[in-house]
Amino acid sequence: MLELSSVCHQRTPHPGSGASGGLKRRVTQLNFSTYTLSFVSSAIIICQVVCVEVMWRKAVLVAVLALGMGYLYHTDPELPSRVLNYVSDSLPQMEPSGGSEPHPPTLEEAIARAWQTLIAAPARRWARVAVGVNACVDVVVSGVGLLQALALEPGSGRDHEVLHGKEDLKEAFIHYMGKGAAAERFFSDKEVFQRIARAAAEYPGAQIYVGGNAALIGQKLASNPELVVLLCGPVGPKLHDMLDEQIVVPPESLQETDEFHLILEYKSGEQWGSSRAPQANRFILSHDVSNGEMSTLETFIASLDEFQPDLVVLSGLHMMEGMGRDLWEERLKEAVIAISDVRNEVPIHLELASMTDRDYMNRILQEQVLPIVNSIGLNEQELLFLTQSGGGPHADLASWDGVPDVGRVSDILLWLLEQHGRADPESEADLTRIHFHTLAYHILATVDGHWGNQVSAVAAGARVASSQACGLQKVDITKVILKAPLNFYSSFSEPRESLTVEPSRPVTVWRRGNVSFHLTPVLVCKQPLRTVGLGDAISAEGLVFSEVTPRPEL
Active site residues per annotation: 536
Q: Would you call 235 helix, strand, or coil by DSSP?
A: strand
Q: How far apart are CA 307 and CA 126, in angstroms?
A: 13
Our separate counts of H helices and E strands in the chain read 18, 24
Task: Name beta bridge partners: 128.
Answer: 228
Asked if 371 contacts 429 with a C-beta cutoff of 8 angstroms, the reply is: yes
The phi and psi torsions of 454 (rounded to 5 degrees) equal: -75, -20
- Give the closest residue to 489 by CA, choosing from 404, 389, 423: 404
For residue 261, give Cα distances in angstroms to 21, 213, 217, 283, 291: 87, 12, 16, 10, 11
| Total count of residues recorded for the chain | 554
Residues 6+ apart with CB under 8 A from 487: 498, 499, 500, 501
Q: Exposed (0-12), middle (13-18) or buried (19+): which is 369, by Cβ within 10 Å?
A: buried
Q: How far apart are CA 16 and CA 353, in angstroms?
A: 83
Asked if 407 contacts 400 with a C-beta cutoff of 8 angstroms, the reply is: no
Residue 553, CB half-sphere, CA atoms under 13 Å: how many? Answer: 1
Asked if 133 contacts 315 with a C-beta cutoff of 8 angstroms, the reply is: yes
Q: Which residues of 378-403 are buried (b: 16+ CB within 10 A; e: fewer)?
A: bbbbbbbbbbbbbebbbeeeeebeeb
SS3 content of the chain, % helix, strand, coil (to 5): 45, 20, 35
What 355-359 contacts at long range (C-beta under 8 Å, 24+ apart), as own/partner pairs, is: 355/318, 355/321, 355/382, 355/385, 356/159, 356/161, 356/185, 356/321, 356/385, 357/161, 357/321, 357/325, 358/385, 358/388, 358/389, 359/325, 359/389
Residues 6+ apart with CB under 8 A from 101: none
